[in-house]
A and B are shown apart, each in its own frame.
Chain A
Amino acid sequence: MQTGISVHALRKSFSDLVAVDNLSLTVERGEVLGFLGPNGAGKSTTMKMLTGFLPPDSGSISIAGIDLLGTPRAAKEKIGYLPEGAPLYAEMTPESLLGFVAKLRGLNRATKEQRLIEVAERIHLREVWRQPIETLSKGFKRRVGLALALLHDPEVLILDEPTDGLDPNQKQEIRQLVREIAANKTIIISTHILEEVDALCSRAMIIASGREVANGTPAELRARDPQHGAVTLTLKSADATTLRSVLERQSSIAKVSARQKDAITTLQLMPQGDIDLLPLAAATAKELETPLQGLQRLEGDLNRVFRLLTQATGGAK
C-alpha cells in the first residue's frame, strides 16, 4: 500500500496555548481515517496544517510522498480539502466557482470541461449549477464544497466536519458520496459524530488537548469500553434471584449486577478476562429452565469510549 498522508511530530501553539502537541499519524491509500476529538481538541488546526494553510511550529508532513512544507504547491495539487463549514464565495455560482478553482488548479480547457461535467453529475449539482451560492440550501452548499475538493480528482481528501449542521437526510447523502469516492483515495474526516466513524471509517484516531489518546479500528476502540464483552439477560424479576445466584458462582464471571424496572430485571455479567460469556449464560438459563426475554453481548459503545478518553485530559481546560 502507498502512504497517502504521513505526519510526524507535528506541533502548533498559539501564544500560550498548545493546540497540537507532538502528533504523528499515517493514512494509507484506501483508508478512511476518522479524526475525532471534542471541540477545541485541535482537529481543525491539524487539518489546516495538513492542507498547507497553517505552518506548523515543528514536525513534518508528507502528502502522497511529497513534502508539504518543502514544496507546498506540488503537495497542494494532491489534496482536496473541505474546510470546516465549507466557506464559499457567496456571489458566485457553482459553475463559476468550480471553473475558477479549476483554473487555479491548472487544469487545461478540455480536462476542465470534462471534470466540471463529471463533478456536477456525481455530486448532483446540475439543478443549481447556475444559481448564486448564497441562495442555496445548506446541503447544496456543502455539496459545492465537496465538489471543489474533488474537482481535480485528488489522491488525498481532507474533510473537516463534512456533515456538521446538516439534517439527517443531508448527512446520509454526504456519507454516501464519501463512500462512493473512498476506494482509491486517502481520506481523513474530522468529526465529533461517532456514528460517522461506523458509517465511513476504516480506522479512527481520537485526540484530546492536541494529543493522540487512541488510534485503531472502530472495533478496537469499542473494545476499550469497560462494558465491552459484558452480557445482559432480560427476564421476569420473579425468576431473577435464582439465576443470579447460580451465575455469581461461575468462576468465569467477574461480576453480576442487576437493574430492575417494573417486573423486569436486567442482569449484566462482566467476564473474567477475554471470554465470551454468551454460551455460558444461555446454557445456565436453559438448565434452570428460566425463560429469557433478551440475551445480548455488548460490543462496547464508542460514545462511552470517547468520553472516557477525552474527559481525562480535556477536563482540565
Chain B
Amino acid sequence: MNRIAALFKREMAGYFATPLAYVFVVIFLVLMGVFTFYPGGFFERGQADLEPFFVWHPWLYLFLVPALGMRLWAEERKSGTIELLFTLPLSMGEAVLGKFLAAWAMIALSLALTFPIWLSVNLLGSPDNGVILAGYLGSLLMAGAFLAVSAALSALTRNQVIAFVLSVCACFAFLLSGFPMVLDAFRPWLPGAIVDMIAALSVLRHFDAIIRGVVDLRDLLFFLSFTALWLYLGAWIIQRKKTA
C-alpha cells in the first residue's frame, strides 16, 4: 500500500513537473466547454440538467484518455526506467495500480474542475443533483475503463504514437460495440450468443444508462470489471514484453 502511494506521488509529481498536467487540464476544460455550449446547446435547450455536458464525454475521452495513457508504459520502456522500477522491491500489481491510479486522478482532477458548469446550472434552475452526481460517477468510471485499455496497449510498444493510435481504435470499438457498425462485422460468422456478449460490452450503452440517473449495479460492475480485466491484461503484457 505504501509502495503504491509512493509510486502514485511520484507519477503525480511527474505530471506537474512537466507542462503535461497543465496542458491536459486546460485542453480538457476548453473542449468540455466548447462541446457543451455549441453543439450541445446548453443554454438554448432551456433545461436545468447537464445532459449536453455529459453526452460529449465518451467522444472527448476517446482522444483525451489515450493521450494521457499512451505514455504510461511506452515511456518507461523507451527510457529504460522500467528496469529501475522492476528491480526495486515492488510487485507488478503495485506498479500497475500506482501508475494507473495517478493517471486516473489526473482525469478526476480535470473532471472536478468542470464544477462551474454545475454551479451555473444550479444558479439558473433547480436540476436533479442526484442525476448530475450519477453523471460524474459514470464519466469517471468510463475514463477509468478507457485508461486501463490505453495503459495495457501502451505496454505493447516503446512508441507512444503507436500506443495512442491503438488505444483510440480499441476504445472506439468498445464504445460502439453495441451498435450495428461493430456488430454487423461479427454477425455473419459468430454465433448469436457471442454477438450478444459483444453487444453487452458497449461502453456507450452502460454510460448512457448511468447519465440518465439510473445507477444500476450491473452498469457499475461492468465498468469496474472491465477496468480490472484490462489492468490485469496490462500487467500480463508488461511481463511478456519485459522478457522479449
A binding-site residues for B, Cβ under 8 Å:
14, 48, 51-55, 72-74, 76-77, 79, 81, 83-85, 87-92, 96, 100-101, 103-106, 132, 148
Cβ-based interface call for B119 (8 A): no
Interface residues of B in 1-49 (CB under 8 A from A): 2-3, 6-7, 9-10, 13-14, 17-18
Residues of chain B within 8 A (CB-CB) of A55 are 243
Residues of chain A within 8 A (CB-CB) of B86 are 52-53
- On whether the beta carbons of A89 and B87 are closer than 8 Å, the reply is no
- On whether the beta carbons of A105 and B89 are closer than 8 Å, the reply is yes
Cβ-based interface call for B190 (8 A): no
Q: How large is the interface on B (under 10, 10 to 19, 20 to 34, 35 or more residues)?
A: 20 to 34
- On whether the beta carbons of A89 and B81 are closer than 8 Å, the reply is yes
Q: How far is the CB of A28 from chain B (nearest CB, A)?
A: 22
Cβ-based interface call for B80 (8 A): yes
Residues of chain A within 8 A (CB-CB) of B79 are 87, 89-90
- On whether the beta carbons of B87 and A100 are closer than 8 Å, the reply is no
Q: How far is the CB of B116 from chain A (nearest CB, A)?
A: 30
Q: Which of A73, A74, A88 contacts B91 (CB 8 A)?
A: A73
Cβ-based interface call for B84 (8 A): yes
- On whether the beta carbons of A92 and B6 are closer than 8 Å, the reply is no
Q: Which of B6, B10, B13, B83 contacts A53 (CB 8 A)?
A: B83
Residues of chain A within 8 A (CB-CB) of B10 are 89, 92, 96, 100
Interface residues of B in 53-89 (CB under 8 A from A): 79-81, 83-84, 86-89
Q: How far is the CB of A188 from chain B (nearest CB, A)?
A: 14
Cβ-based interface call for B242 (8 A): yes
- On whether the beta carbons of A96 and B13 are closer than 8 Å, the reply is yes
- On whether the beta carbons of A83 and B84 are closer than 8 Å, the reply is yes
Residues of chain A within 8 A (CB-CB) of B9 are 100
Q: Whose C-beta in chain A lies nearest to the C-beta of B88?
A: A104
A91-B17, A92-B13, A92-B17 given; A51·B81 CB < 8 A:
no
Cβ-based interface call for B244 (8 A): yes
- On whether the beta carbons of A132 and B88 are closer than 8 Å, the reply is no
Q: Whose C-beta in chain B lies nearest to the C-beta of A50?
A: B87
Contacts beyond the supplied A14-B243, A48-B83, A92-B17: 11 A-B pairs with Cβ under 8 Å: A52-B87, A53-B83, A72-B89, A81-B87, A83-B80, A84-B80, A87-B81, A100-B7, A104-B3, A104-B6, A106-B89
CA distance A104 to B7 in the complex (A): 8
- On whether the beta carbons of B88 and A105 are closer than 8 Å, the reply is yes
16 pairs of residues in contact across A and B, judged by CB atoms under 8 Å: A14-B244, A52-B87, A54-B242, A73-B89, A73-B91, A76-B87, A83-B80, A88-B84, A89-B14, A89-B81, A91-B17, A92-B14, A103-B2, A104-B7, A105-B88, A106-B3
Q: Which of A72, A103, A104, A132 contacts B17 (CB 8 A)?
A: A132
CA distance A79 to B89 in the complex (A): 10
CA distance A72 to B84 in the complex (A): 15
Q: Which of B2, B18, B87, B90 contacts A91 (CB 8 A)?
A: B18
Q: How far is the CB of A222 from chain B (nearest CB, A)?
A: 34
